[in-house]
Amino acid sequence: MDTTKPVEITLPEDCTDMREVRAGVDSTDRELMALLDRRFGYMRAAARIKQDRNVVRDEARKAEVIANARLDAEKRDLPAGKIAQIWEELVETSIAYELEEWDRLRS
């Protein structure tokens, strides 16, 4: 599939068959991956900026990010507990990635 051309998708509320649903899911997954790429870019920036490896893990900030995701999910009527679990994994993966980057930049 050529990903250089924008794919026209049908909004969820307008889908009438599974082909449209699947195309929408695939398109959304590509958008999510682009957003994750940007998020991990911020982890690389943090690794570059932070001078002390011990400040990479910030439990207060982690709790804040997860709470924000849970609240946003609740406002959108999404499964907030499951979204919070996903964000827990995302933040832990981000911390591990930032630590690896921190070490790589200073080796």
Residues of the binding site: 22, 39, 50, 98
Residues of the binding site for substrate: 22, 39, 50, 98
DSSP-derived letter for residue 6 is P
Fold classification of 12-105 (topology level): Chorismate Mutase Domain, subunit A (1.20.59)
Q: Where are the domains of the chain?
A: 12-105
Q: What is the pTM of this model?
A: 0.88
Q: How far is CA 98 from the centre of its chain?
A: 14
pLDDT of the chain along its 107 residues, tens only? 555 566 689 999 999 999 999 999 999 999 999 999 999 999 999 999 999 999 999 999 999 999 999 999 999 999 999 999 999 999 999 999 999 999 999 99
